[in-house]
């Protein structure tokens, strides 16, 4: 039996009287794209934050490839194999596209604490960085400052930086948010190509993209799972209709 | 053998990319020739002060300009460095290398402790806690009667083996060599993987975290390095002025260092040195100018200096380096225009 | 004997605390609401002290000096906000620190030109000089007692102003949410200028009252400024209540520490060590307190909600 890449066991989190994660358990299997959907305020981003390590759960456990990572901080979890993109695109705006990738590449190699050789002119770092960029098709934008990129390109760059750490599971928080139609399609294609290479937990409001991409869908309402299944299961589920799709 | 050749290659590459910094440093090496023939030995003294403050500002710039940490307490490290020389002399240790070693270790340790505590906070709290630590050390030395307390103590110049510091030129070149070493070291650090990561943290700490790095560790290491550089400057400062007092670490000096950096160009290698040149020249020349215009007020040059600082902050985006590169761009644009 | 000393020093600590609060109150509002690090607040202390001393010397009446110094500091705060500070609202903290640092140099020099570098001393009116027995056998200067009372009265006034009045409600709204305040149709520019001038005014009052106790000289506000920054950080930026409690704590720790710490150390370690380390530790006590507070509560004791 294949081990799950990511497993959440009985995760609970409340802010004061507000319960945002209510005894939540689910898994992300190797190579699958697992979509997490739910109305606003369902606790999706808080859940991502708990998997990522930026927010600690009140109780419950998080496992990555069977190893518990619950108490770890963000950098340790990233090193363990969790990659992430943010809701608001999050790149190094003062750097060029290539420099963004170089910083990620040297971090992946564990070489960030070196003091002698210049980083930006290093041939092997540059080669690695170009490889990172080519995964999302940004090679020809390498010399542009990140601040000059169009919104969609910046999201691509962020995805590339998240992939650069060679994650075992990738957390994508609304990668289509704010993107135009064309950009969404492009992003959908790229995520589709990642299927099988890396397990993906996808939060997305764009239902077309979700139904096209997701192998499994989990529906979250008020911090609890009301359904998990394939796209067909979910669109036919009356509970989901009532709680979520119907009200939209 | 090839290691040395590689190193020389790296130095050459770095110097080529930072021409202005090295032009300034070479200028300092040639400066005593001018003062010798013009018979103005006083200006050697000014140049030494510029190099020392410039060195300290370069150290602070690693934290302030490259790391985005607004430390308002770096004068403390200059002070610790100076007192390392002073206290050593007090106990009869006259060897300057020992002073420097003592200073590097002490400042490194102080930087580690202060950095570790202060970097838990951010924004305005960080500015204030660094100021508070500096004040704490200031009052510590004020109250240490054994070392002169408020009045400080006179000390002899350190002995650096064959370098007799009572020969003013040898002192000058000792400071100059320190400047070269600091400049070279910072040039390597800023361009290295570490330096790049530090700049990335300034740009976006949460992205760096998402790459699996802990920003705090990089910031602390950067803080320690900059503390050590300021300490070296302080130790030499003590030998230069043959006197140590808490005044050297007055909070206004922390402000001065920041002004020097802003004036020259934040987050550039040559900026702090250029800023120190202009800052201290103004400090020397404003009284003269004011004295010529209104002799009664020659002492009150600060009345012009204060507003000047405000102007620099309000309008001097990018500092002198920014201004120079704008001129460069304009000149290039014009020559392109005239081109074939 | 020691009880008398403790009582006397506690009152001195309170006096230092309320003075500190007058400076810190304006500063914490400026920092909390406008997000401006205003280092030249110490210059307002100095301006208040000089205005009071100069007018008192000219008229021969201490109270006229105090009374006239209030509009002077209010005006200086108002003009300063208009000329410089409003241009700093959108700048980062470092630029604010440096611009107001330049302002300090300017004001110190201006005072030096106007009044000379030497300190001014002002005489107390007969009604405020002399001593009163706070306990049988424990005389205390009337003037310091008067400072404590005026300071407390100002503190109560500021508290009522911030918590009960309409402008105070705007101040609190501004601290939490400038956009909302603007949406309510409150003219935020005027509000900011008013707060700034009032803050300057309280700093000026602190300066006036300090005049007869300390030397009135250029740069006299700077130690007070740095201590009041410590107060704000301990109390939590933007919180008037926090500033008050922290100011009293800092005033007491500083005053009592200097007097009693060396003696306390002497009972633990040998005399020579205690005499050497006592004053050193005492002078660092305030900063150690701040560091400890920040380690456990990185946003101060009473962080303003926001």
CA A62 to chain centre: 16
Using CB atoms, pick whichever of C276, C279, C298 lies closest to residue B125: C298
Whichever domain contains B193, its CATH number is 1.10.3470
**Residue A190 near chain B (CB below 8 Å):** no
- Does position A95 have pLDDT exceeding 50, yes or no? yes
Stretch C42-67: mean pLDDT: 87
Asked if the structure places residue C156 within a domain, the reply is yes
Is A215 within 8 Å of A34 (Cβ atoms)? yes
Q: What is the pLDDT of residues C110-121, one digit of tens each?
A: 999 888 888 887
C58 touches chain B (CB under 8 A): no
CA dihedral B160, B164, B167, B171 (to 10 degrees): -10
Could you tell me which chains touch chain C, where touching means 3 or more CB pairs under 8 A? B
Q: What would the mean pLDDT of A94-123 be, rounded to a whole number?
A: 88
User: What's the CA dihedral at A49, A51, A56, A62 to 10 degrees?
Assistant: 170
C106, C233, C276: residue with CB nearest B128 = C233
Q: A70-79, C24-33, C171-180: which range is least confident on average?
A: C171-180
Rounded to a whole number of angstroms, the distance from the CA of B309 to the nearest CA of chain C is 5
Shortest Cα distance, chain B CAs vs residue A198, angstroms? 17
Judged by CB atoms closer than 8 Å, whether chains meet at B129 and C282 is answered as: no
Partners of residue C280 in chain B, C-beta under 8 Å: 139-140, 143-144
- Counting the structural domains of chain B, the total is 1
pLDDT at A68 exceeding the cut of 50: yes
Residues B252, C94: C-beta atoms closer than 8 Å: no
Whether the CB-CB separation of C69 and C52 falls below 8 Å is answered with yes
- The confidence band for A248, taking pLDDT boundaries of 50, 70 and 90, is very low
Question: CB distance from B113 to chain C under 8 Å?
Answer: no
**Residues in CB range of C167: below 8 A, 6 or more apart:** C161, C191, C194
Gap between the Cα atoms of B195 and A103, Å rounded: 10
Query: Where do the H-state alpha helices sit in A74-113?
Result: 74-80, 97-108
For chain B, which chains pass the contact test of at least 3 CB pairs under 8 Å? A, C
Mean pLDDT confidence for A113-124: 85
| pLDDT given at position A170 | 93
Task: Please list, residue by residue across B264-275, b when 16 or more beta carbons sit within 10 angstroms of its beta carbon and e when fewer do.
Answer: bbbbbbbbbbbb
Residue A163 predicted with pLDDT over 60: yes
Contact B193 A161 (CB under 8 A): no
The boundaries of the domain holding residue B284 are 2-338
Q: B8 touching A, CB under 8 A?
A: no
Sign of the alpha-carbon torsion through C151, C155, C160, C162: positive
Chains B and A touch, using 3 or more CB pairs below 8 Å: yes
Q: By C-alpha distance, which of A89, A197, A102, A107 is closest to A147?
A: A89
d(CA B169, CA A190): 66
Interface contact B194, partner A, CB < 8 A: yes
Q: Does C71 touch chain B (CB under 8 A)?
A: no
Chain B residues inside the 8 Å CB shell of C237: 124-125
Which residues on B lie below 8 Å from C283 (Cβ)?
139-140, 142-143
Average pLDDT, chain A: 86
Domain count, chain C: 1
Whether the pLDDT of residue A151 is over 70: the answer is yes
- How much is the average pLDDT of A36-64? 88
Q: What is the pTM of this model?
A: 0.90
Per-residue pLDDT tens digits of chain B, which is 340 residues long = 678 888 898 898 888 888 899 999 999 999 988 888 888 888 888 999 999 999 999 999 999 999 999 999 999 999 999 999 999 989 988 888 999 999 999 999 999 999 998 898 888 889 988 998 998 899 889 888 888 888 888 888 888 876 677 777 888 989 999 999 999 999 999 999 999 999 999 999 999 999 999 999 999 999 999 999 999 999 999 988 989 999 999 988 999 999 999 989 888 999 999 999 999 999 888 888 888 888 777 778 888 888 988 888 888 777 888 888 888 888 777 766 554 4
Segment A234-243 long-range contacts (CB within 8 Å, at least 24 positions apart): A235/A211, A243/A219
Q: What is the mean predicted confidence (pLDDT) over C174-178?
A: 59
A41 touches chain B (CB under 8 A): no
Q: What is the mean pLDDT of residues A195-216?
A: 88
Give me the residue from B191, B200, B206 closest to A103, CB to CB.
B200
By percentage, how much of chain C surpasses pLDDT 70? 92
pLDDT value, residue C145: 87
E strands, chain B, are 153-154, 243-244
Both tokens of C231, joined, read 């107060």
pLDDT in tens, A167-182: 999 999 888 887 778 8
Please indicate, yes or no, if residue C106 is contained in any of the structural domains. Answer: yes
With an 8 Å Cβ cutoff, is B195 touching chain A?
Answer: yes
For residue B141, the chain C residue with the least C-alpha distance is: C280
In this prediction, residue B103 carries a pLDDT of: 95
CA distance C289 to C236: 14
User: How close is the nearest chain C Cα to the Cα of B142, in Å?
Assistant: 8
Is the CB of residue A40 less than 8 Å from the CB of residue A18? Answer: no
Q: Report pLDDT for B339.
A: 45
Provide the token pair at B136.
Answer: 């704490």
Q: What is the mean pLDDT of chain C?
A: 84
Q: Which long-range contacts (CB under 8 A, 24 or more apart) does B9-14 make?
A: B10/A116, B10/A117, B10/A118, B10/B188, B11/B184, B13/A118, B13/A121, B14/A118, B14/B184, B14/B187, B14/B188, B14/B191
Element (H, E) at C206: helix C188-210
Can chain B be said to touch chain C, i.e. do they have 3 or more Cβ pairs within 8 angstroms?
A: yes
Range of the domain at C20: 2-296
Whether the CB of B210 is below 8 Å from some CB of chain A: the reply is: yes
Nearest of C80, A45, C30, C112 to residue B303 by alpha carbon: C112
Judge whether C279 is closer than 8 Å to chain B, CB to CB.
Answer: yes
d(CA B48, CA B5): 33
| % of chain A residues with pLDDT over 70 | 97
Q: Of the ranges A15-19, B211-215, C142-146, which is most confident? A: B211-215
The position carrying tokens 């090496």 is: B29
- pLDDT, position B76: 95
Q: Does A84 touch chain B (CB under 8 A)?
A: yes
Query: Higher confidence at residue C303 or residue B130?
Result: B130
Q: Which of residues 212-251 of B touch A (CB under 8 A)?
A: 212-214, 218, 221
Cβ contact C223:C230 at 8 Å:
no
Give the pLDDT score at C176. 58
Is it the case that residue A152 has pLDDT exceeding 90? no
Is residue A245 predicted with pLDDT exceeding 80?
A: no
Please report residues of C whose CB lies closer than 8 A to that of B133.
287, 291
Residue of A nearest to B192 (CA): A118
Contact B240, B48 (CB under 8 A): yes
Q: Taking the CB of residue C112, how many other CB atoms lie within 10 A of it?
A: 18
User: Which pLDDT score is estimated for C306?
Assistant: 38
Distance from CA of C228 to the nearest CA of B (A): 11
Residue contact B303–C280, C-beta within 8 A: no
- What is the predicted ipTM? 0.89
Q: Is the pLDDT of residue A2 over 70?
A: no
Task: Give pLDDT tens digits for C279-293.
Answer: 778 778 888 888 888
Domains of chain A: 6-94+167-245 (3.40.50.300)
Say whether the A–C interface has 3 or more Cβ pairs within 8 Å: no
Chain segment B145-200, per-residue pLDDT in tens = 888 888 888 888 888 876 677 777 888 989 999 999 999 999 999 999 999 999 99
């Amino acid at each position: 039996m294949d081990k799950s890449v990511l497993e959440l066991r009985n995760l609970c989190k409340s802010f004061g009287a507000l319960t945002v994660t209510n005894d939540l358990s689910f898994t992300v299997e190797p190579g699958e794209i697992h979509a997490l959907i739910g109305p606003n305020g369902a606790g999706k981003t808080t859940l991502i934050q708990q998997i990522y390590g930026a927010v600690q759960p009140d109780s419950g456990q998080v496992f990555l490839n069977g190893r518990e990572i619950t108490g770890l901080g963000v950098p340790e979890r990233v090193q363990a194999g969790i990659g992430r993109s943010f809701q608001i695109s999050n790149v190094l705006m003062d750097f060029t596209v290539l420099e963004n990738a170089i910083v990620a590449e040297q971090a992946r190699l564990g070489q960030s604490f070196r003091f002698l050789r210049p980083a930006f002119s290093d041939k092997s770092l540059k080669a690695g960085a170009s490889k990172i960029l080519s995964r999302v098709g940004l090679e020809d934008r390498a010399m542009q400052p990140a601040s000059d990129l169009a919104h969609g390109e910046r999201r691509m760059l962020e995805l590339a930086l998240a992939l650069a750490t060679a994650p075992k599971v990738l957390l994508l928080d609304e990668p289509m948010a704010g993107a135009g139609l064309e950009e969404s399609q492009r992003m959908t294609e790229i995520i589709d190509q990642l299927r099988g290479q890396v397990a993906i937990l996808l939060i997305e409001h764009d239902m077309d993209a979700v139904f096209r991409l997701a192998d499994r869908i989990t529906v979250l309402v008020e911090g609890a799972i009301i359904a998990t299944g394939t796209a067909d299961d979910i669109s036919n589920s009356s509970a989901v209709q009532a709680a979520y799709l119907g009200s939209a | 053998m090839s290691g040395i050749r590689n190193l020389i290659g790296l130095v050459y590459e770095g110097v080529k990319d930072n021409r202005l910094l090295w032009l300034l440093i070479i200028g300092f090496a040639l400066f005593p020739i001018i003062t010798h023939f013009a018979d103005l030995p006083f200006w050697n003294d000014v140049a030494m002060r510029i190099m020392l403050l410039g060195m300290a500002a370069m150290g602070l710039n690693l934290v302030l300009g490259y790391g985005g940490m607004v430390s308002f307490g770096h004068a403390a490290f200059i002070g610790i460095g100076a007192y390392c020389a002073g206290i050593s002399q007090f106990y009869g240790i006259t060897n300057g290398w020992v002073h420097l070693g003592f200073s590097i270790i002490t400042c490194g340790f102080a930087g580690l402790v202060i950095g570790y505590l202060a970097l838990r906070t951010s924004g305005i709290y960080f500015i204030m806690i660094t100021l508070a630590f500096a004040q704490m050390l200031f009052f510590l030395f004020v109250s240490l009667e054994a070392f002169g307390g408020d009045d400080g103590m006179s000390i002899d110049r350190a002995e650096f083996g064959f370098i007799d510091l009572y020969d003013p030129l040898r002192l000058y070149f000792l400071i100059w060599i320190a400047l070269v070493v600091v400049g070279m070291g910072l040039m390597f650090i800023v361009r290295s993987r570490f330096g790049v990561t530090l700049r990335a943290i300034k740009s976006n700490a949460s992205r760096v975290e998402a790459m699996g790095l802990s920003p705090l560790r990089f910031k602390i290491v950067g803080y320690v390095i900059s503390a050590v550089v300021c300490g070296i400057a302080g130790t030499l400062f003590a030998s230069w002025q043959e006197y140590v007092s808490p005044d050297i670490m007055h909070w206004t000096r922390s402000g001065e260092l920041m002004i020097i950096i802003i004036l020259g160009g934040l987050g550039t290698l040559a900026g702090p040195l250029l800023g120190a040149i202009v800052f201290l020249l103004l400090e020397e020349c404003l009284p003269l100018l004011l004295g010529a215009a209104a002799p009664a007020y020659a002492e009150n040059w600060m009345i012009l200096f204060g507003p000047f600082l405000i102007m620099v902050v309000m309008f001097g985006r990018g500092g002198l380096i920014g201004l120079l590169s704008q001129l460069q761009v304009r000149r290039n644009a014009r020559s392109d225009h005239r081109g074939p | 004997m020691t009880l008398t000393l403790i009582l006397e020093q506690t009152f001195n600590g309170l006096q230092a605390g309320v003075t500190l609060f007058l400076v810190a109150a304006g500063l914490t509002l400026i920092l909390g609401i406008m997000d401006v690090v205003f280092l030249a607040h110490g210059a307002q202390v100095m301006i208040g002290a000089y205005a009071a001393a100069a007018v008192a010397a000219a008229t021969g009446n201490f109270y006229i000096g105090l009374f006239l110094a209030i509009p002077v500091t209010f005006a200086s705060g108002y003009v300063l906000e208009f000329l410089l500070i409003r241009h700093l609202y959108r700048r980062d903290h470092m630029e604010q620190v440096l611009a107001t640092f330049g302002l300090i140099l300017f004001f110190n020099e201006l005072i030096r030109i106007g009044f000379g570098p030497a300190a001014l001393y002002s005489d107390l009116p007969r009604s405020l000089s002399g001593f009163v027995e706070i306990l049988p056998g424990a005389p205390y200067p009337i003037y310091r007692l008067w400072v404590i009372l005026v300071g407390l009265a100002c503190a109560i006034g500021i508290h009522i102003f911030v918590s009960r009045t309409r402008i105070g409600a705007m101040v609190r709204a501004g601290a939490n949410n400038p956009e909302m305040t603007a949406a309510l149709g409150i003219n935020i520019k005027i509000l900011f200028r008013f707060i700034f001038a009032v803050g300057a005014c309280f700093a000026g009052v602190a300066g006036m009252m300090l005049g007869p106790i300390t030397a009135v000289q250029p740069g006299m506000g700077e130690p007070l400024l740095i201590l009041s920054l410590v107060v704000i950080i301990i109390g939590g930026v933007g919180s008037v209540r926090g500033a008050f409690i922290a100011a009293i704590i800092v005033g007491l720790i500083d005053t009592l520490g200097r007097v009693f710490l060396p003696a306390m150390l002497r009972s633990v370690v040998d005399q020579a060590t205690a005499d050497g380390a006592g004053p050193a530790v005492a002078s660092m006590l305030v900063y150690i307190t701040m560091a400890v507070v920040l380690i456990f509560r990185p946003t101060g004791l009473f962080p303003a909600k926001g």
